[in-house]
Amino acid sequence: MNPGLYMSICRSAIILIIHGVFLSFSAFAEINGYTEQSSYNTLHASEYYSHAEKNNALQAPESHYHTDKNKTLQEPESNSYSENNNTLQASDFYPQTAKNNTLQAKGLSGQTGMNDALQEQDPSGQTAGNDTLQEQGFSGQTKKSNTLQEKSPSGQSENKINVSPDTETIVILHTNDHHFTANKLSALKDTIVHIRQKYETVFLVSAGDIFVRHPARWIVNGQLMISRNWFGDRALFMINNMNDLGYDLMTLGNHEFDYREPYTFTALDAANFPLLAANIEITTDAIPTLDAYAILNTSAGSSVAFLGLTIASGDKEGVNALDAFETAAGHISLLDSADIFVALTHIGLRRDYQLAEMFPEFDVIVGGHSHDLLEEAELVNGVLIAQAGGNPHIVMDTHPVYLGKIILTLENGEIVEKKGRIIHVGEKPPEIEVDAEEEVELEVEVEAEI
């Protein structure tokens, strides 16, 4: 055979063998490549769709997830859920199940479900749908009742609103007809001080006749005092005692109008309180200027008008008495200037009754002149009438001392209760001279001690 031809055939054979081997290798490589790509695709897809049976979990984006005892919930974008996890929610955007209303699964903070404040919070910081929670919330305060969760704008619990009325108590202490007697001053002062300490507003008033106008009765413990100077000294003594006790007002009595110059003026002018007499016209210098009425204010801001009504004796020059009832009618307009209307009178109990019948506009009548001791104040035509006895027209150390006490109770500016009684000064310790109920209790205690 031709050597050149032989070499050419061998070279072609070798090329064909090499090409065949190359083709076989390429085919094998393509087959293996496809299998690896399928395996890769399967593994890649498992990151989104397969679920670890042992871990019972869904792999999800980091943006939102909840865990509950290592049961991880993952929410893929395709919203796929594990068959075994249908009762657990995987996102803040989906409602919690009924079983999860009272306890939240552990959140991003890693805190347990007992700390609801980090789970499902609304803008106010309170856990949504957490009506029955009693564990600690975000503020750290224990929510043990709905009253701490549902409050009105004022901060008060809606079911604890209790509007109470504006209550005020006014006390009027009163005396009358002392007639130069000033017994048991220390006990009287202690009693008045005690009452003032107990109540916010206490007024002390006199219904007149602190003097004795008859010289034949200027008697002290059986001894006649014939000097006019004694009258002057005793009159000033009475006024100074009233100043010391802190009297607020006095309506003059008929014994004051039967003046003795210059002593009556000197004594009355020393008073540190207004002197009232609306129905008396004074045109003499023997009597100081008088007021028709006075308005006193309470500690709570209420106002009390006292109208002075009296009688005159002795036919003294420059003293002219007008009708008390007509004068009262002319001053009813005081109701427009005050919350409470009181008549401070020295006209006697019978006329006080008439005044109450004619003018129910008065809330209280505090009287004198007739020396009536009304142990309990009386209601006549809706008007409370009080009078605190009085002394004979001679001075004796054995005369009793009476102090009237009127209590007015107001609610929202209106009188809802009014009552009055007599305190027998010096006969019992001052601390019980407040209410009858307290007297009974103390009497029982004293009897037990004896």
Query: pLDDT per residue over 375-422, tens digit each?
Result: 999 999 999 999 999 999 999 999 999 999 999 999 999 999 999 999
Out of 126-130, 217-221, 364-368, 388-392, which region has the weakest mean confidence (pLDDT)?
Answer: 126-130
Whether the predicted pLDDT of 130 surpasses 90: no
Whether the predicted pLDDT of 323 surpasses 60: yes
**pLDDT score of 426:** 87
Cα–Cα distances in angstroms (integers) from residue 278 to residues 239, 275, 287, 360, in the given order: 21, 10, 14, 19
Out of 34-43, 248-257, 345-354, which region has the weakest mean confidence (pLDDT)?
Answer: 34-43
Task: Measure the CA–CA gap between 90 and 47, rounded to whole angstroms.
Answer: 17
Helix (H, G, I), strand (E, B) or coil at 54: coil
Cα–Cα distances in angstroms (integers) from residue 389 to residues 128, 166, 207, 403, 413, in the given order: 74, 35, 11, 9, 31
Q: What is the mean pLDDT of residues 244-272?
A: 97
Cα–Cα distances in angstroms (integers) from residue 178 to residues 216, 229, 367, 444, in the given order: 17, 20, 13, 32
CATH number, domain of 418, equals: 3.60.21.10
Question: Which structural domain, as residue segments, surrounds residue 176?
Answer: 168-449
In a domain, 259, yes or no: yes
In a domain, 256, yes or no: yes
**pLDDT score of 122:** 41
In a domain, 3, yes or no: no
The number of beta carbons lying within 10 Å of the beta carbon of residue 450 is: 5
In a domain, 143, yes or no: no
In a domain, 20, yes or no: no
* Predicted structure pTM score: 0.62
Mean pLDDT of the chain: 74
**pLDDT score of 164:** 57
Tokens 């023997």 correspond to 286
> Considering the chain, what percentage of its residues have pLDDT values greater than 70?
58
pLDDT digits (tens, 9 = 90+) for 18-54: 656 555 555 444 444 444 444 433 333 333 333 333 3
Cα–Cα distances in angstroms (integers) from residue 140 to residues 77, 102, 119, 182, 378, in the given order: 36, 17, 15, 68, 61
**pLDDT score of 34:** 40
Per the model's pLDDT, the better-predicted residue between 159 and 354 turns out to be: 354
**Which are the contacts of 394, defined by CB distance < 8 A and separation ≥ 6?**
179, 212, 217, 219, 220
**pLDDT score of 81:** 36
Q: How confident is the model at residue 374 (pLDDT cuts 50, 70, 90)?
A: very high
In a domain, 225, yes or no: yes
Total count of domains within the chain: 1
Per the model's pLDDT, the better-predicted residue between 91 and 298 turns out to be: 298
In a domain, 53, yes or no: no
Cα–Cα distances in angstroms (integers) from residue 323 to residues 207, 208, 330, in the given order: 18, 18, 11
Out of 75-79, 345-349, 432-436, which region has the weakest mean confidence (pLDDT)?
Answer: 75-79
Out of 22-31, 207-216, 348-357, which region has the weakest mean confidence (pLDDT)?
Answer: 22-31
Q: What is the mean pLDDT of residues 230-258?
A: 97
Q: How confident is the model at residue 16 (pLDDT cuts 50, 70, 90)?
A: low
In a domain, 190, yes or no: yes
Q: Are 343 and 327 in contact (CB under 8 A)?
A: no
**pLDDT score of 434:** 41
Q: How confident is the model at residue 289 (pLDDT cuts 50, 70, 90)?
A: very high
Query: What dihedral do alpha carbons 243, 238, 176, 406 form, nearest 10°?
Result: 20
Per the model's pLDDT, the better-predicted residue between 437 and 187 turns out to be: 187
